[in-house]
Structure 1
Amino acid sequence: MGTPDIRDTPEEWRVTATETPFTGNKTGVRTDEVVMPDGSTARRDYQTHPGSVAVLALDERDRVLLLRQYRHPVRQKLWEIPAGLLDVPGENPLHAAQRELYEEAHVKAEDWRVLTDVYTSPGGCDEAVRIFLAREISAVEGERFEVSEEEADMELARVPLAELVRGVLAGDLHNNCLVVGVLALTAVRASGGPETLRPAGAPWPARPFS
């Protein structure tokens, strides 16, 4: 038996009926009747999501820019990397990532690359996230962006990448974008370096953009 082609591929099983029992401000819930390979049908409930971007911003001392924010569903304050929703359909994800880095951390970056693309919970949500690596960072001039709600209580920190890897493996850090980002960057450094990453404008089939 040969080695299979290890890459995810598009496929869509036939849907015979769809309901939308809940539609929120940004996300919703959908129920599909899906035809299984044996011809039977099954109901699949899942959250619909516009998609997100996240930024692993690395400074000249190999420290990652972090935010600490309260997340009500898990009843914890989590250390995270800057991230946000793709609020506008078809929005360029790089532009959205640059906006989030400015709004949440008052920082800009000169070098941008795609670190990795992930589905956060494909068994129950269609959210797709593009995680960028941002380097050559510096403070933005002028007044900070005004924040509210959970973001009003946000803390900022810069933490060495190696320390974050230890925290992830010890079970002390849980935010998915942070975990994926720091481990992906560590793997990249062991296999060619950041210059081998995709350019910041690389296609993203999960959330196409112009």
Structure 2
Amino acid sequence: MRILRSVILITIALLTFSFVKVNNSNKDKERAMNIGQEKDLKVAYFASGCFWCVEAIFESVRGVEEAISGYAGGHTNNPTYQKIGTGRTGHSETVAVYYNPKIVSFQTLVDVYYGSHNPTTKNGQHPDYGSQYRSIAFYNNNNEKEIIDRTIKKLNKEIYKGKIATEVTKLTKFYPAEDYHQNYERLHPNNPYVRNVSIPRLNRFKKKFPELLKKEKH
């Protein structure tokens, strides 16, 4: 009886933990999809390597209210971190950037995007390589597409000599990533990858665009 009771208690505990974890994840995803409507914000979508890095960069920009890590650009439904890691789902690690257009423009966000990664790398950003880390600038409408295309043309002429490999794709579906990926850099500052890759990338961006940064909270 004691063994049976122990098994039952362990099973109940595991089911409870699973429910809480799924429920919290669902709440985070619901928050991600509703935040724009609640604050009358616009949403831009960008992929340029590890979404931990990209999320932290955009969240440092004045006028950006929230950045959500997720998946987009693929051909399968309900992708997960494990599935896109195979490179077979077509998705790229993508960040949804919720911004106030009265404070920061879409053009500025595109400038941030191109100023914070190497767009000439076809599949990846050092040290992460594979189609899930490729560079994609998503657009929601023709105006956004024109801004992206115009920026690429300008940068190809002035800096990259026609070598920009960024895909320019209409956003069809964005899937928020698992809860543990959200705000990863801020919540895990001592993670080796964060220390050696994410934070240096963020600091390079801050040094390049100090005029776009939010004021430090004291």
TM-score of the pair, normalised by structure 1: 0.27
- Greater share of residues in strand: 1
- Greater share of residues in helix: 2
Q: Which has the higher contact order (CA 8 A, sep 6+)?
A: 2
